[in-house]
Structure 1
């Protein structure tokens, strides 16, 4: 009979060897600041960073240069970024922020909250999801991620078939 510690170790070993079952990213539609209609189906085959943020969130504003740097570092290798502004963020503020900071990736305003709800009722900002090429959520970060560790994980996901 296995005790709890042995069962936990066995579960971890199986998860490491076989890959854990992961939640699929939700299928969502959204409109980018430039008016383009988009859908999460377009993410197929890419590693995606989906960042929920607000212009009123000090941590979001602080981390945005690192989100930009991450995007620029990996964008030519099958990586993309989507910044999703929260429903309470005034669209004019989001647009000004994106323009003044030269955000190099898609920015969507989640004016109905549907995208945040689809991702598990996101309320805290920043909340960031890393999604693999198969459309599975690999990691959820609440607050600012450790960007060095995030880059390592992105490298690993980009190397996967």
Structure 2
């Protein structure tokens, strides 16, 4: 995705954990952080506490949605996805993307990856990888203030 492109529809999930969200529910009220992760991604596991801290710190001002994007065939095991989501404290809605429909809509190739959308649903920031989270909070604060 390119900056200022609209958020894709959140459709095509093979499952949802912690409740389902639609684009219409996310756009208009608050900015949104959508983060991609995978069960087999060690960096995702390392950064998940930081993502959860952002979720909790900005709970009144930010929507947060996780997208599980399988990196291996074993990542499609729903029991493992549920177990990892529970183990890493994901209380936000989790879009399980076993068929890569949302992954393709985002043109996302990496995990972890972080997309920050403003209230109108326009992409304002993208980061990926271990160091990607370092700049995300600054961008979140900017879109909240707007």
TM-score (normalizing by structure 2): 0.84
* Structure 2 partner of 1:43: 26
- For structure 2, the 5+ residue unaligned runs are none
C-alpha distance 84-103 of structure 1, shift in aligned 2 (>3 A): same
Q: Distance in 1 between matches of 2:98 and 2:134?
A: 32
Cα displacement (A) at 1:37:
4.0
Q: How many residues align?
A: 137
Q: Distance in 1 between matches of 2:21 and 2:39?
A: 22
* Structure 1 partner of 2:95: 108
- Residue deviations 1:64-86 (CA, integer Å, cap 9, x gap): 00000000000112x01111101
* Structure 2 partner of 1:63: 47
Cα displacement (A) at 1:146:
4.9
> Tell me, what secondary structure is at the counterpart of 1:75?
coil
> Tell me, what secondary structure is at the counterpart of 1:38?
coil
> Tell me, what secondary structure is at the counterpart of 1:129?
strand
- For structure 1, the 5+ residue unaligned runs are 1-20
> Tell me, what secondary structure is at the counterpart of 1:65?
helix
CA RMSD of aligned residues (A): 1.8
Of residues 81, 84, 89 in structure 1, which corresponds to 2:64? 81
* Structure 1 partner of 2:111: 125
Q: Distance in 2 between matches of 1:145 and 1:56?
A: 18
Ranked by relative contact order (alpha carbons within 8 Å, sequence separation 6 or more), the top structure is 2
Of residues 78, 99, 108 in structure 1, which corresponds to 2:86? 99
Q: Mean alpha-carbon deviation: is it higher for 79-88 or for 109-118?
A: 79-88
Query: Is the Cα–Cα contact under 8 Å of residues 126 and 143 in structure 1 kept in the other structure?
Result: yes
Q: Distance in 1 between matches of 2:68 and 2:113?
A: 11
Cα displacement (A) at 1:102:
2.3
TM-score (normalizing by structure 1): 0.77
- Is it true that 1:52 corresponds to 2:36 in the alignment? yes
